[in-house]
Chains A and B, each alone.
Chain A
């Protein structure tokens, strides 16, 4: 696969050109060098939602830290919203949500938002009004007067997104935003992102929750071992011929009809069979000819997941149907 990186004429929110980052750790006598990013080339367009996927340690958080100026690149260049991130004016247009955001536990949610709002130059009535707005948006109005020490993980994540949104950012950068959320919190957060996208905010999400990517993002990039393996639009992935395995369940007592299917990759087990998508149609006709009553047909992985695994060169050995983990 060849990354589709800078092929569009759309205005860019983030332009990454040949970006590399090397960490030097260890003592003087035994220095250790880790190449976290290797010549990253990527454009994020304005008003799009971009998902950066990768395994743990792939370099996703390094990319975000470089975008925020928390790290300095070893090579290459990076432009955010048309300027350098070291500029206060550029940073005032960026919202950032870290993975599992930590705050001082001694403040209330409202105080935190007021403080972060004041850093964006908001004061007095304007600040109070904006804080109320954001609290409403992240559904934290009722808990705003409680101290952060009493917040659940989901509430922390919501206040986290609140502080990221307080300055009405043009670009929202989130590092694993769904991490640790329960299904309700996950859905609420997803809805917030979809609303923001509709409102014209550019979203950059680091994630390894593939469902999140599929539902929110316009494009995804796959980062593996510090290298960008591929960039593709979600519509392209969903329309692709990526191989996905399916699971076919038959009615109770008809398991015997699944044995002896003439396909090498078919695995019958517990009253069902796992087959590759290429032979799905043939399998269904064969089962129909055997008069087996099919109860359910489920993909064992999403297309995005399959695309991801294919991009990083991993073998798709998925044992559970999609959605069973949520």
Chain B
């Protein structure tokens, strides 16, 4: 009896395998959507050696260790930036390298923050920095530090207020924003000529803060703004 059962079971093995193939194929298809809800992003490189990019990507995807390869490549980026001989061409590949490191490891913040800071304050290429930070903010929408950095760079160096304002507004709406960020947004409004928005924001700061120095700063700002709006002149931020 037992032998018969086992023999019957063995005879059914191919049919069971076919059934199981179909089941796993169904789940594989279903999970593919879960894996990649959006098309894969690829760095738009313009100065980087294409081989570096291809070899790194191949290593990362073949080994299934994309993040670790990203970490390892990040060390290579640091060495590139630390090598004084690369200053001859003003570290021309820094943006590409940071971008590639972030492709492999999109939630690792250092390539965005260090890359953007170096590109802006050292190399004076704020456009590249803003591009890098935009990518970082898209990959890490809940992170505040990238937005703050983006705001300060855009505000101080590139005057790209139109890019900064929506990012800061959305973050402030979440209620999780440091005072510095609100301050930058108010100044950005002012720079962009949105004086009414700036006044409202300073008034809100004045109402909500529990710090005296902030209250004093907000009061001064409001006073200057109102005087300017009356006189039709641009106040000093």
Q: Which residues of A contact B (CB under 8 A)?
A: 84, 86-89
Kindly report which residue of chain A lies nearest to residue B3, judged by CB atoms. A87
A89 to B5, CA, bound (A): 13
Residues of A within 8 A of B174 (CB): none
Which of B2, B3, B6, B7 counts the most chain A CB atoms within 10 A?
Answer: B3
Cβ distance A85 to chain B, nearest Cβ, rounded Å: 10
**Chain A facing B: main interface SS:** loop
Cβ contacts A to B, 10 pairs, < 8 Å: A84-B3, A86-B3, A86-B7, A87-B2, A87-B3, A88-B2, A88-B3, A88-B6, A89-B2, A89-B3
Find the B residue at minimum CB distance from A86: B3
Q: Which 9 A-B pairs have the closest CB atoms?
A: A87-B3, A88-B2, A86-B3, A88-B3, A84-B3, A86-B7, A89-B2, A89-B3, A88-B6
Q: A86-B3, A88-B3 are in contact. List 7 more A-B contacts (CB 8 A).
A: A84-B3, A86-B7, A87-B2, A87-B3, A88-B2, A88-B6, A89-B2
Minimum CB distance partner of A87 in chain B:
B3
CA distance A275 to B3 in the complex (A): 59
Number of A-B pairs, beta carbon distance below 8 Å? 10
Write the nearest CB–CB distance from A79 to chain B, whole angstroms.
14
- Which residues on the B side are within 8 Å of A87 (C-beta)? 2-3
Query: For A88, what are the chain B residues with a Cβ–Cβ distance below 8 Å?
Result: 2-3, 6
Interface size class, chain B: under 10
B76 to chain A, nearest CB (A): 44
**1/0 contact trace for B1-22 toward A, CB 8 Å?**
0110011000000000000000
Q: What is the minimal beta-carbon distance from B70 to any residue of chain A, in angstroms?
A: 41
Residues of A within 8 Å of B7, CB to CB, are: 86
Question: In the bound complex, what is the Cα–Cα distance between A87 and B3 (angstroms)?
Answer: 5
Q: For residue B2, which residues in chain A have a CB less than 8 angstroms away from its CB? A: 87-89
How far, in angstroms, from A84 to B3 measured CA to CA in the complex?
A: 9
Contacts of B6 in A (CB 8 A): 88
Nearest-neighbour CB distance to chain B for A138, whole angstroms, equals 31
Q: How far is the CB of A200 from chain B (nearest CB, A)?
A: 26
Closest to B10 in A: A86
Q: How far apart sit A87 and B7, CA to CA, in the bound complex (Å)? A: 9
Q: Which residue of B lies closest to A84 (CB)?
A: B3
What separation, in Å, do the CA atoms of A11 and B21 have in the docked complex?
49
Alpha-carbon gap, A88 to B7, bound state (A): 11
CA distance A86 to B2 in the complex (A): 11
Could you say which residues of chain A place their CB within 8 Å of the CB of B3? 84, 86-89
Kindly report which residue of chain A lies nearest to residue B4, judged by CB atoms.
A87
Q: What's the minimum C-beta distance from A34 to chain B, rounded to whole angstroms?
A: 27
Q: Cβ of A89: which chain B residues have Cβ within 8 Å of it?
A: 2-3
Distance in Å: Cβ of B227 to nearest Cβ of chain A: 89
Q: How far is the CA of A87 from the CA of B5 in the complex (A)?
A: 11
Smallest CB separation, B173 vs chain A (Å): 65
A84 contact set on B, CB distance < 8 A: 3
**A288 vs B3: C-alpha distance when bound (angstroms):** 71
B5 to chain A, nearest CB (A): 11
What's the Cα separation between A84 and B6 when bound, in Å? 13
Compute how far the CA of A78 lies from the CA of B6 in the bound complex, rounded to whole angstroms.
20
CB distance from A153 to the nearest CB of B (A): 37
The proximity string for B residues 51-89 relative to A, scoring 1 for CB distances below 8 Å and 0 otherwise, is: 000000000000000000000000000000000000000
Min CB distance A81 to B, Å, is 13
**A89, B2: Cα distance in complex, Å:** 9
Distance of A257 Cα from B3 Cα, bound (Å): 73
A89 to B6, CA, bound (A): 12
- Which single residue of chain A is at the shortest CB-CB distance from B7? A86
In the bound complex, residues from chain B placing their C-beta under 8 Å from that of A86 are 3, 7
What is the distance, in angstroms, from B105's C-beta to the closest C-beta of chain A?
42
CA distance A88 to B6 in the complex (A): 10
Rounded to whole Å, the gap between the CB of A120 and the closest CB of chain B is: 15
The answer for the CA separation of A240 and B145 in the assembled complex, in Å, is 104
CB proximity of A88 to chain B, nearest CB, Å:
7
